[in-house]
Every structure is written in structure tokens, then in C-alpha cells.
Amino acid sequence: GAVVSQHPSRVICKSGTSVKIECRSLDFQATTMFWYRQFPKKSLMLMATSNEGSKATYEQGVEKDKFLINHASLTLSTLTVTSAHPEDSSFYICSARIREAFFGQGTRLTVV
Amino acid sequence: DAKTTQPNSMESNEEEPVHLPCNHSTISGTDYIHWYRQLPSQGPEYVIHGLTSNVNNRMASLAIAEDRKSSTLILHRATLRDAAVYYCIPSEDTGKLIFGQGTTLQVKP
């Protein structure tokens, strides 16, 4: 089946720094990808829809200047958490759909 | 987005069938019913989806009520590897998936 690869799987960064997370569709082209975050024991919360060649669409309450999304090619979307704070620590997951959705393995971000 | 209601948790014994219910009374006529599951510390994985007719695949079966306001995911023989959070999501064929709280399935040996 189709594969979505996410990198890195784990990252620790200092407060105030920026972190980039990559999401790649390995064997299909994805004009649209989706970014989620998940807190412990909670469900996935959709953050934004990443659109190839155009601006991302952010869900209500998500700061677009803090969570920068770039979808420069049909197989790569990136999420950059800027000026990270400890409250940004979370599990970030990307996905892409053909008909069913394929999810990356997730990135555990810890901000210290 | 259609609202879903699922039990918070369910338990099953290994090798026995499991029926996971989902209510989606506000589903639109064009929404498919998707099921995904998430194992701890992993991204979700696709289980099955359907529109009106019951569906079977190698992982599970999906029984859809005639009025489409509810559905049931059936795992025919639960294994320990089936312990996960199961999400029922009404959605169009493409586009974003909105996750509810899901059902945490525990499988006892």
C-alpha cells in the first residue's frame, strides 16, 4: 500500500528555536496533505491542510505564523514550529489521501 | 462535519469477535463511513470504509445501518495486536478527516 514517511520521529529542542518536520508521500503524488497534533490520551486535532503550490489552510485557533507549512512539491510537505515553547510539545502527525488516508509515523516534539 | 458517538472503551477476549459501534446520525448523503485505528505512539492506519452496503476486507467487516445513521466495525477474531483506539469518521471521498474521541479496545489474553 501507499506509504507516507515522516521525519524525524523524535526531536528535542530548546525554547525559542525552530523545528522542521518533513512529510513525504513515497509512492504517490499528493496535492494535499494534512497536519495533526495529538496530546497524550487525546484524539488527533487537525491543524491545517497543506496545498501544493499554494498557501496552507489553517483550522480555527491555529496560529499560522507559529506553524509554518510549505508544500513545495507533490511529494513533500513541511511543518516548521517557530519559536518553540514547552506548550508546543506534542505528537505531530501528517497524512495524505488517495481515497483512504495514509499517515506518517508521527513526530514526538519535546521543547525544553 | 458529522458528529460521531462511540463508546469510550471496550474489552474483548483474544480470539473472540468484537463489535465496535458508532452513531453518526448527522451524516450527509455523500459521506463515506471510514474507520481508522491507532496503536500507541503511531500514526493511525486505515481499517475499512463503506457508503451504504456492508463491506469486508482482510482486516475487518463493516456493517452499515439501512438509514446510515450508525455502523458497526466487526473484528472477527480479536488478537492482542488489535488493541488500539478505533475511530469512526464520516467523510467525503477526499479531503480532511476530523477525528472524534474514538473507542479504546482492550484485548485480554
Rounded to whole angstroms, how far apart are CA atoms B15 and B17?
7
Chains A–B, number of C-beta pairs less than 8 Å apart: 53
pLDDT tens-digit series, residues B12-63: 999 999 999 999 999 998 899 999 999 999 999 999 999 999 999 999 999 9
* Maximum C-alpha span of chain B: 40
Average pLDDT over residues A79-87: 97
CA-nearest of B47, B28, B27 to B38 is B47
Tens digit of pLDDT for each residue in A9-33? 999 999 999 999 999 999 899 999 9
Which chain A residue has the Cα nearest residue B86? A43
Whether A1 has a pLDDT exceeding 70, the answer reads no
Contacts of A104 in chain B (CB under 8 A): 43
Half-sphere exposure of B92 (CA within 13 A, CB side): 5
* Cell numbers representing residue A2 in the block: 501507499
Beta bridge partners of B87: B36
Specify the residue for cell string 465496535.
B20
Query: Residues 6 or more apart from A40 whose CB is under 8 A from it?
Result: none
Closest CA relative to residue B9, chosen from B97, B77, B108:
B108
